[in-house]
Amino acid sequence: MKRTVTTKPMPNAPRGTKHPPARAPLERIEHERDAWLGQVHPSAHFHTLFDHLPGVCFYCKDEQGRFMLVSRSFLQHHQMRHESELIGLTDFDVVPHPMAAGYVRDDARLLSGKSRCIERVELWYDKQGTPDWVFVSKLPLKDHTGRICGTAGVVRPAAEHEMQLPMLQSVARAVEIIRREFAGPIVLAEVARKCGLSMRHFQRRFQQAFGFSPQEFLMRTRVAAAMKLLEETNRSAAEIATRCGFVDGSSFAEQFRERVGLSPTGYRESVH
């Protein structure tokens, strides 16, 4: 007995047809799409979807580098509760100067049209001051005339397969050692040896992977740990300097001010 198969018509397709109806010309569809997007209220724009993606941070900046749209997770990462605390600020207002300078260099490439997309694995510092691996994607934003008018970015935890890249594997061991032992007298030549690299190749690969040297990563890690202690404890600056691996109080104050823009005492006062 011959078996019959009954098929249901596609949604919105006229009965009796096997193929979807022909689409309108692309130019007309694009015009209708743009008109439809113009009707969407700004407070309901699609960036709010990022609030429902755990671990993913999203932001948009204008040509001046000022934050215009941010996800809730981005605010939480910077220990802020409402976008009114961040809107209109630049990277230099929210992260240490060396980090901000790197972000601004990326923005300049995107705004000039020299790059259509920037994607890389970076080290971000979490709310506990601990560096962690993240994957960053940045794009230029264009207005209705096609002119570049800002930048947008997404930051998310790096997937396991992304951490298998040869360049990252060569320095991942070093990152773990520094994260674990930053408070002690770390000898970077010994760290390089544990990674199976000469000091020269270690320096080069670290620079290629992150855009800064292993010495700078060690110092940023120490400063981030010091910031956390200044925020959460009443320990003296001298005690914090010792706990975070600085040789003395004056070195601590110098390195801290260079990366944060404030003295340790000034930073404590600004967050309390």
What ranges do the domains of the chain cover? 46-157, 165-271
What average pLDDT does this structure show over 189-200?
Answer: 92
Q: Region 208-217: what's the mean pLDDT?
A: 81
Q: Residue 53: its pLDDT value, please? A: 86
What pLDDT, on a 0 to 100 scale, did the predictor assign at position 122? Answer: 73
Residue 215 has pLDDT above 80, yes or no: yes
Q: How confident is the model at residue 5 (pLDDT cuts 50, 70, 90)?
A: very low
Give the residue, 158 or 114, on which the prediction is more confident. Answer: 114
Give φ, ψ of 45 to 5 degrees: -65, 165
Given CATH 3.20.20.70, say whether it is the number of domain 46-157: no
The CATH class given to the 165-271 domain equals: mainly alpha
Question: At 196, is the secondary structure helix, strand, or coil?
Answer: coil
Contact indicator for 154, 194 with CB cutoff of 8 Å: no
Tell me, what's the pLDDT at 7? 47
* Mean pLDDT, range 136-162, rounded to an integer: 87
pLDDT digits (tens, 9 = 90+) for 18-74: 565 666 688 888 888 888 878 877 666 777 888 888 889 999 999 999 999 999 888
Q: Is the pLDDT of residue 16 over 60?
A: no
Q: Above 80 in pLDDT, residue 133?
A: no
- Residue 86's closest CA among 98, 99, 72? 72
The CA radius of gyration of the chain, in Å to the nearest whole number, is: 25
Tell me which of 76 and 3 has the higher pLDDT: 76
Tell me: pLDDT of 14 over 70: no
Q: Does residue 170 register a pLDDT over 80?
A: no
Q: In this structure, what are the phi and psi dihedrals at residue 81, rounded to the nearest 5 degrees?
A: -105, -30
The mean per-residue pLDDT over the stretch 82-88 comes to 90
pLDDT at 235: 94
- Select the more confidently predicted residue: 155 or 168: 155
Report the pLDDT value the prediction gives residue 208, as an integer from 0 to 100. 74
